[in-house]
A and B are shown apart, each in its own frame.
Chain A
Amino acid sequence: MRRGAIVRVVTIALLAAAAATAIAIFIRWLPAADSKEAERIDLVFWVVVAICIGVFAVVAAISIYSVVKFRVRPDDDSDGPPIHGHTGLEIVWTAIPTILVTGVALLSAVALAENGHLKSNRLEVDVTARQFVWSFKYPQYGDFQSNELRLIEGRQVRLSLTSLDVIHSFWVPEFRQKQDAVPGEVTHLPITPLKTGKYTLICTELCGLGHALMRAPVIVMTPAAFEQWARAQQQQGAQGASG
């Protein structure tokens, strides 16, 4: 009897886990991972999803089994067995979640530290947000200003963000990294783009009427193409300043 119950619960749990896994696999969840940071974030994401599927399956199985198996007719006046608790079980379901969340915390802390690690050859870009425009300055190239964010394939960039009015937030979903731009403060965000291509920078902190449209193009270029573009911009900027 008891063994039969366990077999049935495990079967339902496996079915629930299979269904949840199918939802995780067959729906496209995360967008393309086009930065080194994104790869680490995705690893944490899928590890935690796997744990979540396990917990969900156990809970779903026990509740479904209970409702189906232990349901009685409305006129059944009997009571269940007076079980008040079970110290062993209670220790188990305190200890296992503690171990699981400690593991998640460790993995997350490592990924976070790795993603915050700065390289010495990094590109520096100063990002200034205001309602509802992004602008970018390149201090290593004479501080010229641009309305699009151009980055170098395979080279880390450190963004230094600030805002002139309200809080905005920098997010390129394919890069995963996100950071608020706060008026009166400079915040930093390292990103290492891995593929050339066009992306969209999205403001993710409600910043007023134009929030939904506060976007800017992000272009990742090969080192040579970037160098060419940056030099040209730098000269244009110098001419503009002298003229």
Chain B
Amino acid sequence: MTEVVEHTPHAPPAPPKTGWRRWVLGPGFVRAAWMTALFFFIGLGIVVGLRSLGHYDPVWDWLIIVTVAGLITAPIGFLAGLGAFDYWVYYALGYPTRPEDHSGHGARSWKDYFRVNTDHKVIGVQYVVTTIFFFLAGGLMAMIFRAELAKPGMQFLDNQEYNGLISVHASLMIFLFVIPAFAGLANFVIPLMIGAPDMAFPRLNALSYWLLPIAGIMMLSSVAVPGGAFGAGWTGYAPLSVVGTDGNIWFNMGVQWAGASSIMTALNFLVTIITMRAPGMTFWRMPLLVWANFTTSLLVVLATPFIAGSQFFVMFDRIMHTNFFNYQEGGYVLGYQHIFWFYSHPAVYIMMLPGFGIASEVISVMSRKPIFGYRLMALSLCAILVLGFSVWAHHMFVSGMASWLRVPMMITTLLIAVPTGIKVFSWLATTWEGRIHLTTPMLFALGFVSMFVIGGLSGIMLGAVPIDIHTSDTYFVVAHIHYVLLGGSLFTIFAGIYYWFPKMTGRMYNERLGKLHFWLTFIGFNLTFFPMHIIGVQGMPRRVSDYDPQFGTWNMVISISSFFLGVSFLVFLYNAIVSWLRGPIAEANPWRAMTLEWQVSSPPPIFNFDEIPQIVGGPYEYGVPGARHAVFNGDRATDLEEARSP
């Protein structure tokens, strides 16, 4: 790809430093290590300095030092050391800005995945691999506490360990797996799908990825905090999260880093989708995955600041005694829930709409038919986006909020079933009379449709206030969220990983192992989570380390099934690793798909398109004689780039 470098009009890069100076001062993990330490001591200095100036006692307040130096400044040092801010710092300090030489772009060896890389394709892979790591960590935690729950009575965990495990499990799965896994897949696919050479802000994109490991390690490491991990659930309700263990701060700050990452990525997607579509790619010619990520990104930028606020309030209550949620000092306890759910309900759609997009791609291609009702599919995404902001209090039907709020919130909640139903029926209609290829991604996509329907129906039940009053905070809710997040989000994430595996890695996965993985997961998932509906309705509350012996049998069934489910992911891991290393070389377009990412080589060229695609039709015109989504008429991408630059 040196050819591309020659075409760029910028000056050649500065000669690299040599020897130990390059090793210590150049961006990378060595500089990250010492800059993390340096910034830790800067944070420590700020805290201790201010406290001694203000005559606070004690001056060495380790809780505040750890919060500021450990959870805020040290991660900034890590990012700076890694090189995430290099360009901006040079610019801000008035040094000659190093022109983009594209040396930070693309992956030539595995080492390029372990540095600040501005190539959206590399970042997409970084995201997916990182999130799978945290998925496995969260899954292992689930298996540990399921072992504890196999029998009534306490087995080998104490209550603090149990509360910590369930909280860290849920937080990792939500903030470090589902949300960023979708962001990662979209990061890889969206620029390709709309015919763009990269995301609009590649450096911001790189930064937003590197915030993620920080958030994940922060949440994971809270188990090592004296007193134990945060144990107020992933919802972290105040005042329990204020008065609970100090591990709660690791959650408060972990959410900030993950949230910042989400917001940056969403802004990037919005600008990319709005401004960087290929000629002819009107909104009504965009693939539904692009629509899905467009609406998701709007949700993220509008909603995520609310959870950031709620977690800052909780943290301030603990370390600065601000009394936001201390009723004895005029705090408003229910305020936490309103702010939290004003993010966290839209977050449910943040975790689902990209999956809708993936399912639409896969089902249309694998059925060899246009997606049924394309415009209504896109519009129903928009309807969910708008309605999603009007339903947050359905998580609070028994919370003691103003009781008149319950009926209007119930109505909006139930109405969301309408656009969601439209999508389900349209997917089914897409398969009707199609030529269905039951490949692994299609199995996961169809598994998603059927399981998501069950999750959606239990959602209707929970949306009806009288039923919710009985089932709120029981295992019925646990069953519901796992049907929508596992049967919904996880299945579509796997559909996406298998579908784009050849494009991302350039190699084909093993189809038989993929199908085996699907069936093991599908069966294990249903055996694990369906019985939870039953024990929930019967009267077993959630988030309990011990329970009434009458639920013993079902819990044993659930625990055994959960290990089965856990083991099924080993099949995926084996398939993914071995196929990535030694799988057969993938064709450019193994699925005979029309969307743009399949019109380039696998893996794609470093700037995606050697020729600018011209979009001439819809993305799903399967079976339409002579239909094209895009044509390549010889406009060289690099020529155009030169013409644009001043």
* Cα–Cα, bound, A98→B421 (Å): 10
Q: Are the CB atoms of A94 and B367 closer together than 8 Å?
A: no
Q: Taking the complex as formed, is A206 at the interface, i.e. its CB lies under 8 A from any CB of chain B?
A: yes
Q: Are the CB atoms of B400 and A112 closer together than 8 Å?
A: no
Known: A82-B624, A167-B237, A187-B400. A209 touches B367 (CB 8 A): no
Q: Return the chain A residue nearest B237 by Cβ.
A: A167
> In the assembled complex, how far is the CB of residue B551 from the closest CB belonging to chain A, in whole angstroms?
11
- Chain-B contact segment, one of A61-69, A118-126, A137-145, A230-238: A61-69
Q: Taking the complex as formed, is B373 at the interface, i.e. its CB lies under 8 A from any CB of chain A?
A: yes
Q: Taking the complex as formed, is A153 at the interface, i.e. its CB lies under 8 A from any CB of chain B?
A: no
> In the assembled complex, how far is the CB of residue B437 from the closest CB belonging to chain A, in whole angstroms?
6
* Cα–Cα, bound, A89→B197 (Å): 40
* Cα–Cα, bound, A80→B621 (Å): 10
Known: A31-B538, A72-B436, A185-B333. A80 touches B368 (CB 8 A): yes
Name the interface residues of B216-240: CB closer than 8 Å to any CB of A: 231-233, 237, 239-240
Interface 0/1 of A22-61, CB less than 8 Å to B:
0000011111000000001100110011011001100110
The 8 Å CB contact of B464, one of A29, A48, A60, A89, is A48
Q: Are the CB atoms of B460 and A207 closer together than 8 Å?
A: no
Q: Taking the complex as formed, is B562 at the interface, i.e. its CB lies under 8 A from any CB of chain A?
A: no
Q: Taking the complex as formed, is B577 at the interface, i.e. its CB lies under 8 A from any CB of chain A?
A: no
Q: Are the CB atoms of B460 and A112 closer together than 8 Å?
A: no
Q: Are the CB atoms of B434 and A66 closer together than 8 Å?
A: yes
Q: Are the CB atoms of A178 and B160 closer together than 8 Å?
A: no
Q: Are the CB atoms of B466 and A67 closer together than 8 Å?
A: no
- Compute the total of residue contacts between A and B using a CB distance below 8 Å: 261
Q: Taking the complex as formed, is A21 at the interface, i.e. its CB lies under 8 A from any CB of chain B?
A: no
Chain A residues with CB under 8 Å of B458's CB are 52
Q: Taking the complex as formed, is B5 at the interface, i.e. its CB lies under 8 A from any CB of chain A?
A: no
Known: A79-B623, A167-B333, A202-B539. A116 touches B403 (CB 8 A): yes
Q: Taking the complex as formed, is B450 at the interface, i.e. its CB lies under 8 A from any CB of chain A?
A: yes
> In the assembled complex, how far is the CB of residue A125 from the closest CB belonging to chain B, in whole angstroms?
17
Q: Taking the complex as formed, is B398 at the interface, i.e. its CB lies under 8 A from any CB of chain A?
A: yes
Chain A residues with CB under 8 Å of B542's CB are 204, 206
Q: Are the CB atoms of B537 and A59 closer together than 8 Å?
A: no
Chain A residues with CB under 8 Å of B422's CB are 90, 93-94
Name the interface residues of A176-226: CB closer than 8 Å to any CB of B: 176-185, 187, 200, 202-213
> In the assembled complex, how far is the CB of residue A104 from the closest CB belonging to chain B, in whole angstroms?
6
Interface 0/1 of A71-94, CB less than 8 Å to B:
110101111111111100110011
The 8 Å CB contact of A71, one of B370, B429, B438, is B438
* Cα–Cα, bound, A98→B433 (Å): 27
Chain A residues with CB under 8 Å of B461's CB are 45, 48-49, 52
* Cα–Cα, bound, A211→B163 (Å): 10
Known: A108-B466, A177-B469. A80 touches B369 (CB 8 A): yes
Chain A residues with CB under 8 Å of B50's CB are none
> In the assembled complex, how far is the CB of residue A2 from the closest CB belonging to chain B, in whole angstroms?
10
* Cα–Cα, bound, A206→B478 (Å): 14
Q: Are the CB atoms of A202 and B466 closer together than 8 Å?
A: no
* Cα–Cα, bound, A10→B375 (Å): 29
* Cα–Cα, bound, A200→B539 (Å): 10
Q: Are the CB atoms of B410 and A78 closer together than 8 Å?
A: no
Known: A93-B425, A204-B473, A212-B159. A179 touches B418 (CB 8 A): no
Chain A residues with CB under 8 Å of B239's CB are 165-167, 183
Q: Are the CB atoms of A206 and B543 closer together than 8 Å?
A: yes
* Cα–Cα, bound, A177→B460 (Å): 19
Chain A residues with CB under 8 Å of B482's CB are none
Name the interface residues of A119-169: CB closer than 8 Å to any CB of B: 161, 165-167, 169
Name the interface residues of B385-444: CB closer than 8 Å to any CB of A: 398-400, 403, 406-407, 410-411, 414-415, 417-418, 421-422, 424-426, 428-429, 431-439
* Cα–Cα, bound, A79→B244 (Å): 59
> In the assembled complex, how far is the CB of residue A193 from the closest CB belonging to chain B, in whole angstroms?
16
Chain B residues with CB under 8 Å of A67's CB are 431, 436, 438, 446
* Cα–Cα, bound, A59→B460 (Å): 16
Q: Are the CB atoms of A79 and B368 closer together than 8 Å?
A: yes
* Cα–Cα, bound, A76→B366 (Å): 12
* Cα–Cα, bound, A177→B461 (Å): 16
Q: Taking the complex as formed, is A109 at the interface, i.e. its CB lies under 8 A from any CB of chain B?
A: yes
Q: Are the CB atoms of A45 and B367 closer together than 8 Å?
A: no
Known: A55-B453, A82-B622, A84-B374. A208 touches B435 (CB 8 A): no
Known: A41-B466, A116-B403, A176-B470. A62 touches B432 (CB 8 A): yes
Name the interface residues of B190-234: CB closer than 8 Å to any CB of A: 231-233
Q: Taking the complex as formed, is B492 at the interface, i.e. its CB lies under 8 A from any CB of chain A?
A: no
Chain A residues with CB under 8 Å of B473's CB are 169, 171, 178, 204-205
Known: A67-B436, A85-B376, A208-B240. A59 touches B418 (CB 8 A): no
Q: Taking the complex as formed, is B47 at the interface, i.e. its CB lies under 8 A from any CB of chain A?
A: no
Q: From B446, B539, B623, name the one whose CB has the most chain A CB atoms within 10 angstroms.
A: B539
Chain A residues with CB under 8 Å of B429's CB are 83, 86, 89
> In the assembled complex, how far is the CB of residue A74 from the closest CB belonging to chain B, in whole angstroms?
6
Chain A residues with CB under 8 Å of B632's CB are none
Chain A residues with CB under 8 Å of B398's CB are 169, 178-180
Chain A residues with CB under 8 Å of B439's CB are 74
Q: Taking the complex as formed, is B2 at the interface, i.e. its CB lies under 8 A from any CB of chain A?
A: no
Q: Are the CB atoms of B370 and A178 closer together than 8 Å?
A: no
Q: Taking the complex as formed, is A111 at the interface, i.e. its CB lies under 8 A from any CB of chain B?
A: yes
Q: Taking the complex as formed, is A7 at the interface, i.e. its CB lies under 8 A from any CB of chain B?
A: no
Q: Taking the complex as formed, is B100 at the interface, i.e. its CB lies under 8 A from any CB of chain A?
A: no
Q: From A79, A93, A211, name the one whose CB has the most chain B CB atoms within 10 angstroms.
A: A79
Chain A residues with CB under 8 Å of B407's CB are 105, 109, 112
Chain B residues with CB under 8 Å of A161's CB are 400
Q: Return the chain A residue nearest B421 by Cβ.
A: A97
Known: A52-B461, A211-B543, A213-B546. A165 touches B243 (CB 8 A): yes
Q: Taking the complex as formed, is A18 at the interface, i.e. its CB lies under 8 A from any CB of chain B?
A: no
Q: Are the CB atoms of A204 and B472 closer together than 8 Å?
A: yes
Known: A79-B369, A182-B399, A204-B472. A66 touches B428 (CB 8 A): yes
Chain B residues with CB under 8 Å of A179's CB are 398, 400
* Cα–Cα, bound, A55→B424 (Å): 11
* Cα–Cα, bound, A93→B450 (Å): 17
Q: Return the chain A residue nearest B535 by Cβ.
A: A29
The 8 Å CB contact of A56, one of B374, B418, B453, B622, is B453
Q: Are the CB atoms of B433 and A105 closer together than 8 Å?
A: no
* Cα–Cα, bound, A179→B396 (Å): 10
Q: Taking the complex as formed, is B566 at the interface, i.e. its CB lies under 8 A from any CB of chain A?
A: no
Known: A40-B466, A82-B370, A112-B406. A66 touches B431 (CB 8 A): yes
| Sample (14) of A-B pairs whose CB atoms are under 8 Å apart | A29-B537, A31-B538, A55-B453, A63-B450, A70-B435, A90-B373, A94-B421, A94-B422, A109-B407, A167-B399, A185-B334, A204-B542, A206-B163, A210-B159
Closest CB pairs A-B (n = 3): A184-B327, A173-B539, A79-B623
Given A62-B431, A104-B464, A166-B237, 17 additional A-B pairs, CB 8 A: A45-B467, A49-B461, A52-B461, A56-B454, A70-B432, A70-B435, A90-B426, A101-B414, A104-B460, A104-B463, A167-B399, A173-B539, A177-B469, A180-B398, A184-B328, A206-B240, A209-B159
Give residues in B with beta carbon < 8 Å to A: 159-160, 163, 231-233, 237, 239-240, 243-244, 327-328, 331-334, 367-370, 372-376, 398-400, 403, 406-407, 410-411, 414-415, 417-418, 421-422, 424-426, 428-429, 431-439, 446, 449-450, 453-454, 457-458, 460-461, 463-467, 469-470, 472-474, 534, 537-539, 541-548, 592, 621-624, 627
